[in-house]
Structure 1
Amino acid sequence: MKAICWILAGFYLLFCCKAEEGLNFPTYDGKDRVIDLNEKNYKQALKKYDMLCLLFHEPVSSDKVSQKQFQMTEMVLELAAQVLEPRSIGFGMVDSKKDAKLAKKLGLLEEGSLYVFKDERLVEFDGELSADVLVEFLLDLLEDPVEIINSKLELQAFDQIDDEIKLIGYFKGEDSEHFKAFEEAAEHFQPYVKFFATFDKGVAKKLGLKMNEVDFYEPFMDEPVHIPDKPYSEEELVDFVREHRRATLRKLRPEDMFETWEDDMEGIHIVAFAEEDDPDGFEFLEILKQVARDNTDNPDLSIVWIDPDDFPLLITYWEKTFKIDLFRPQIGVVNVTDVSSTCPE
């Protein structure tokens, strides 16, 4: 008991000493870290950093609005670069006109997009361009593509993830060729799709997994889908995830909002607005989840759930555009190719 008291006292002293610094949010320090990438310096930049994040942008117009918008975007990158400097993550910009040859060589296709080079992979960032969202995305990408579940507590944490796609497999060990195929498949989707694995027989038993078997969990569903025909190759796992990636009910998240929004059903989205922390919103969301479970085999149904609390800067825009009140749950159909014709109800 005395030992526990001393440990707690040590923690107390540590936190007391650091209390004033504990909430010291970073501000731009004035040092330029974002590189203007060109054919002369891009190889050096790729070698220098473990990951390199590049903004592929159109030439900046001379008008004040365009100049100001570009400066704001540049400041987002500068702040992210400052925060992630100790992690060996570099940042750069590529002009689509001035550096067209370099862009083609690197595989940069869409102006205004952010691309990340990690090892020999190119990952496109499809989220909200803000420093906090971008930093979180890059830190997730820096981690191993597969998270290992070894205990009951870790399994409980795995069970709590219900609003995004996840996969989990049971393998003999890290040297297993089937685990390596699973790990290589995970790299195709990191960090957008979560891959987990266990080497523990007890954990596998609780999950109902047999050796070399993988389960696919659709968001908000009670039961997983057993991926058939084990063991699997990397290509088979990648194909399965791509085929089943569009969930019946999916949440719009800041880190992949554009990817979700662009994945429409022939130009149409069924969109539901509901605050999860609000009693009416929670009740409405539970009904949506049940509708999704009852219709999970319907390939023509996909509902996008938006929690307005996740996008405070868009609330006024959505209310004005869709002519709705987001202080209560809403659902309707959105034509993403012509926002003016949308009609949520």
Structure 2
Amino acid sequence: MKILLLGLFFSFGTLLSYGDQGLEIPEYDGKDRVHTLTAKNYKSIMKSYDVMVIYYHRNVEGDRGAMKQLQIEELALELAAQVLDELEDEDIGFGLVDEKKATAVAKKLGLDEVESIYIFADNEIIEYDGELAADTLVEFLYDVIENPVEVIDNDRELKGFFNMDDVIRLVGYFKNERSPHFIEYDDAAEEFHPFVKFYATFDPKIAKKLKLKLNEVDFYEPFMEEPVTIPGKPYIESDIIEYIEQHERSTLRKLQPHSMYEIWEDDIDGEHIVAFAEEDDPDGFEFLEILKEVAQDNTDNPNLSIIWIDPDDFPLLVPYWEKTFGIDLSSPQIGVVDVADADSVWMDMDDQDDMPTSDELEQWIEDVLSGKIDPDDDDEEDEEDYDENDDDDDDEEDDEDDEEEDDDDDDDYDEDDDGDDEEDNEDDEEDDDEKDEDEDE
């Protein structure tokens, strides 16, 4: 199930009217920067940029609603292009490819999923699986143009590394940038860039604080207290890639605007365990801490993966979620969702003053994993109700048929009676006539 969301953070008028400089939200200046790519122009346009962002959209001819939607999406791309136009080090271009009018271009570039954004950079193709919002896309592109490996040189940068506990990250200690072991590490980083964060240090003091040995790499799963050292050093590129692919689905992972579709599509047997909690809210923070504790206790369970959604990150989706799932997101919630039809079952948390304990939450999750709690149960009940209704309808039809047969029998009986009455009347008339004749004689 692909979630539909367009969060556009742009303005059509000046939002700050106090004369202050440095806090003005960018306005679209009306200049066209997004190219319409065709078979004749796409090669020359793409060669003129270091990075090319292409939106492969469906054809909207004859559909007014779809045309307006595409205009909104194109405006988001225009604003992103305008903001990135100020970059000095990188030239980033934006283009549109129509699925119907530019099929040859799509085929040449390897675009296979309509309504997707593809980023061409350094001979790599990156599929963007986030919301089509100007600010989210710009932030993602900033990561794209950064080096695949970020070097930690001092304590401030080390503190920043430790504060990033909501994403997968790796860190390694190497002699220098020319080290063959670092080169293998850097090559592996390029394969996952910019989705997985790679860090490195060449400073023995920083390595000591990270508890790293030379040429060693640690893997940090989101929200886990301690990292795991990747076994088998010294590594080659494929060793690191294989380890990440085996551990990429975290026990607790946060739905991020820049990768929301990728995370949602990575379900387990067609279902997701989903937790809603506002990190800045006291109840939400408390519930999130309980979630982390449960995740840490069950990190070795390959069948457990909980998606944490902070409603503050997706304000436009809150009404949709509340209506679809029948829940109130002003307080923490956890449930299991069928990604195909959005059927869901939610943990009963009526007493909002007391959050469930980690044991209670863990028991509920075990019931989900064992199938005791299953959103598909509603479908089975609906089928049973449907079958019962069918049976009732059949019974009613049978009763109606019986009534019709009875009515037919009654009609036949009445017709016979009418026939007998007519015969009796005829006999009576004949008798009367004979009697009159006798009297006349």
Report the TM range for the smaller structure's normalisation: over 0.9
Q: Which residue of 2 aligns with 1:25?
A: 25
- For 1:38 and 1:121, the matched residues in 2 are separated by 21
Deviation at 1:59, TM superposition (A): 1.0
Deviation at 1:53, TM superposition (A): 0.1
Q: TM-score, normalised by structure 1?
A: 0.92
- For 2:169 and 2:187, the matched residues in 1 are separated by 15
Q: Which residue of 2 aligns with 1:213?
A: 216
2:240 pairs with 1:234: no
Q: Which residue of 2 aligns with 1:7?
A: none
| Structure 1 counterpart SS, 2:142 | helix
- For 1:114 and 1:245, the matched residues in 2 are separated by 22
- Map 1:77-88; keep pairs closer than 5 Å: 77-87=77-87, 88=91
| Structure 2 counterpart SS, 1:75 | helix
Deviation at 1:57, TM superposition (A): 1.1
Q: Which residue of 2 aligns with 1:164?
A: 167
Deviation at 1:343, TM superposition (A): 2.2
Q: Which residue of 2 aligns with 1:247?
A: 250
Q: Which moved more, 1:91-100 or 1:121-130?
A: 91-100
2:294 pairs with 1:291: yes
Deviation at 1:274, TM superposition (A): 0.5
For 1:170, the aligned partner's letter is: Y
Q: Which residue of 2 aligns with 1:67?
A: 67
| Structure 1 counterpart SS, 2:85 | helix
Q: Which residue of 2 aligns with 1:310?
A: 313
Deviation at 1:177, TM superposition (A): 1.4
Unpaired runs of at least 5, structure 2: 1-18, 348-441
Deviation at 1:182, TM superposition (A): 1.1
Identity %: 60
| Runs of 4 or more consecutive aligned structure 1 residues displaced over 4 Å after TM superposition | none
> Which one has the largest radius of gyration?
2
| Structure 2 counterpart SS, 1:280 | helix
Deviation at 1:169, TM superposition (A): 0.5
Q: How many residues align?
A: 327
Q: Which moved more, 1:117-126 or 1:102-111?
A: 102-111
Q: TM-score, normalised by structure 2?
A: 0.73
| Structure 1 counterpart SS, 2:279 | coil
Deviations 1:114-164 (A, max 9, x none): 000001000011111100100100011111111100112211111111011
- Map 1:1-345; keep pairs closer than 5 Å: 20-87=20-87, 88-339=91-342, 341-345=343-347
- For 2:243 and 2:107, the matched residues in 1 are separated by 30
RMSD (Å) for aligned C-alpha atoms = 1.3
Deviations 1:222-256 (A, max 9, x none): 11111011111112211211111000000001111
| Structure 1 counterpart SS, 2:192 | coil
Deviation at 1:45, TM superposition (A): 2.1
